Amino acid sequence: MFESKEDISRFGKKIMEYITHSGACAVGVCNADSLEGGPPSADLTREMPSAKSAFVFAVPLDDDIIEAYMGKIDHGKYQSHYIRTNIVAEGIASSACHFLRGQGYEAQVVNAGNTTSGGDGRDVTPQNDSQRAAAEKYPTTDIDMMIGTIPVLSQRFLAAAAGVGYFGRSGNILTSSHGASVVLGALVTSMELEATPPIPHEENYCDNCNWCEAVCPTTYMSRTENNNVQLGEMEHTYSKRMHPGRCASYMMGSAGLAENGKFSAWGPGRKTMPKEDDQVLIKLIEISTDMANRPQTPGGFVNPPDQGEKRMNINCSACNLVCHPEREVRRKRVKLWTQGGVSVQHEDGTLESMPREEAEAFIAAMTPERRALYE
């Protein structure tokens, strides 16, 4: 271990340089002070009891691959790219942990799937008085706990506190160079580091264009209510989330057609979510059963061993992929997504986008048994 603050600071900067040279477009450090006042999932000790600091970073996604995906031209290439970028981010974090351990410090990767639904079996409920007080300030719903969307440690909160990016209206982290089209990575360590400052509000390019809402096929972001989260000395604001099953149904592909019927995500389903949140879970169970009986879409994330053999495919992400720092690029991506047709699934599991009328004819030509799995 290092004895002086200067040596600790110097080594911390070397870790940040390593992360940048390994492919990150932004990197920062947060600690207990810069996360103070946040929800339980902003407590570093939930990931590792000895944690004093965290390195957080963003790895950019490829713009050309994104636009082929948003234009409904190529699903598989983006899905593979996204999965590999996640693996790269975790590899960078793992190597940084190795360097820290080599100097006598404890270190642990913050896995992106550190939720119950992501296969993490740890208890996400508050574990001490401090976390219980935070939970009273930022209450979660029973459905969040049931579906398993609460992380042990939120990479987004860490990224906002460390100045890697800032919250957009969508609730995604927006980086200055690549917007929300990034994969976040993080690691916690017992090394005590000074935090890098959060990005000032005036530098947040989110101008409430609401195009994240325009490309969302369901009603997931509230148009009238916001979430406010205090992290250190800065308050962060983003739109209040509606029922998490709305987003999950389109991301996983059990649903696909937008509620307005004019476009779709990559999911081939035609059943949409009900208007009332208290009816969403019933519909989610129905369409998830449909999806389980459809052909497996090629590629995708391999599920944890206890969650079945079917892989999880990426079928939406429009709210973060649309949000580019340049407004004209955002405008282009809105058109690509909303005018790119409607997705259908072939018997071999592959997905294809067609004009709406052709997609309707494609579905109508199915046998009644197969058609019932989609609409």
309 pLDDT band, cuts 50/70/90, is confident
The predicted-structure confidence for 280-299, as pLDDT tens digits, reads as follows 999 999 999 999 999 999 99
pLDDT at position 144, please? Answer: 82
What's the rounded Cα separation, in Å, for the pair 242 and 349?
Answer: 30
Residue 167 pLDDT class (50, 70, 90 cuts): very high
**What is the tens place of the pLDDT at every residue in 229-249?**
999 999 999 999 999 999 999
- Do residues 140 and 211 lie in contact, with contact meaning Cβ atoms separated by under 8 Å? no
Cα–Cα distance measured from residue 217 to residue 300, given in angstroms and rounded to the nearest whole number: 21
Q: What is the mean pLDDT of residues 173-183?
A: 98
Rounded to an integer, the average pLDDT of 144-148 is 78
What's the chain's average pLDDT? 95
**Which among 173, 195, 168, 157 is positioned nearest to 58, based on CA atoms?**
173
- pTM score of the predicted model: 0.94
**Cβ atoms 343, 356 nearer than 8 A:** no
Q: Which of 50-54, 115-119, 276-280 has the least mean pLDDT?
A: 115-119
pLDDT above 70 covers what percent of the chain? 99
In angstroms, the CA 40 to CA 139 distance is 10
Give the pLDDT score at 100.
98
Q: Is the pLDDT of residue 133 over 90?
A: yes
DSSP secondary structure string for all residues of 260-303: TSS-B-S----PPPPSSGGGHHHHHHHHHHHHHTSPPPSS-BPP
Average pLDDT over residues 313-319: 96
102 CA to centre of own chain: 31
* Cβ atoms 180, 318 nearer than 8 A: no
Q: What is the mean pLDDT of residues 116-125?
A: 83
- Using the structure block, give the residue that is written with the tokens 């072939």: 346
Look at residue 113 in the predicted model and tell me its pLDDT: 81
pLDDT tens, residue by residue, 9-39: 999 999 999 999 999 999 999 999 999 999 9
pLDDT of residue 154: 97
CB 31 within 8 A of CB 45: no
pLDDT in tens, 195-215: 999 999 999 999 999 999 999
Q: Which residues pair with 108 in a beta bridge?
A: 188
pLDDT at 65 over 80: yes
pLDDT at 306 over 70: no
Region 340-360: mean pLDDT is 97
Q: Which pLDDT score is estimated for 66?
A: 99
- At 166 the three-state DSSP class reads strand
pLDDT in tens, 92-110: 999 999 999 999 999 999 9
Going from N- to C-terminal start, the domains of the chain cover 5-206, 244-371
CA atoms within 13 A on the CB side of 285: 4
